[in-house]
Structures are given as structure tokens and as C-alpha cells.
Amino acid sequence: RELYGFLDSFKKDIGGRQSGDHQGLANLLGAWQEYEMTRSKSDLMSFARDLCTDSSLAEHVNRGIQAKSGWLRDSAGLWVRLHAMHQDGEVDLPEEDATRLQRAVDVAFEVFSANEGNHEDYVAAWYQQAATALLSALFSGSSVTTLVPLVRRAGEHCVSVYDEHFTSKSGAMGRIRERINREYLDAVQELVWGDAESDLVFQKFLA
């Protein structure tokens, strides 16, 4: 009963978030991370499957995909985490639901790369979402096979978006340095990049 009470609340929270609620959308992954770190594997897999196959939530995500909505970018870590669970065989999903997850991840990357929102805060937040998804999996003992290259891809996109849109913007680098979470960056560095010298995000923003 407690599981499904949390699940219903979480689904409503996702469905009620809209573009512009940047912090609320980012916090969805924080709620997921707390759940993943405190629940059994069986609870986690049951929760993830129910979340991915819920019909009303599916409609909400499909609308976001079709509109290339900014809220998919701002909640990208959640979709990346769920997609990785399916890809790594931890959650079995019908083809339609699996395809929707893949599209949600792809569209999130597209929206970020197009610099929708035109603000450097998205650069730090984007990598934070990806790193949090990876750390969530690590802490729960889940597979990270799909997550590691996705986090690397997210980091590469951070650098390319900065180079294309913010290199000449006064104060942009300083603001990103202030907002990027160094502890999270360090925690995933070896797994994703191998070392600091190879870490594109570290070299661009913190070296």
C-alpha cells in the first residue's frame, strides 16, 4: 500500500509539472534517487515498470515528445535512469513503452543541444541530471552499462553547447562554475572518463 501510495503521488507530480518549473522538474530525479536508495530491488523494479506503463503518464510524455518540450530536458535524469534500467534488462517493458522512453531521452538531448531557454544555467543542470542518474544506480547496486555512455554523451553536449552559445557571454563561465556540483562531477569522473585529464566537463569548466 505504501509503495503504490508513493507511486501515485510521484506520477501525479510528473504529470503536473510543466515547462518553466525548472527546479520542480529537476527535483523529480531527487525523489526517485531517494526511493532507489531506500527500497528493495523488487519494489524498485515494480515501481519503475508501473511508472513506464501508466497510460495517463504515457500520454503526458508523448505530448512532450511531439512538442519537443523543455520539461523533458529539465527532467532528463529520470528518463535516462528508467531507459537504462530497461536497456540493461532490469525492467521488462512492452515495445511501445520502451520506444517512448528512448524517444523521451532523445528529445531531451535535442532540446538541450538546441539551447532552448538560452541560459547557461541549463549547462550545469544538464550534467547534474545525468550524473545523479548514474550515482543513483551505483548506490543501489544496479547496472550502469547504459548509463556510463549516456553520462559521457551528456558531458560532451555540455561542452558543445557552451562553445557554441556561451563562450563570448560575460559571466557565463563563472556562473556555470558556481552551479556545477563538484562532488557529483568527481564521483562519476573515473567511471565515465577514466581520469581528470580526459574529463571534458572538468577540463572545460573547472580545470
Q: Which three cell numbers stand for residue 39?
A: 527500497
Q: What is the pLDDT of residues 11-38, one digit of tens each?
A: 666 655 555 555 666 677 777 877 788 8
Q: What is the DSSP string of 81-105?
A: HHHHHHHTTSS---HHHHHHHHHHH
pTM, rounded to two decimals: 0.87
Domain tally, the chain: 1
Q: Which amino acid is at 77?
A: G
CA distance 78 to 35: 12
Instruction: Determine what percent of the chain is predicted with pLDDT higher than 70.
Output: 86
DSSP secondary structure, 142-156, as one string: ---TTHHHHHHHHHH
Per residue in 65-87, pLDDT (tens digit) is 999 988 889 889 999 999 999 99
Task: Please give the residue range of the domain that contains residue 120.
Answer: 2-205
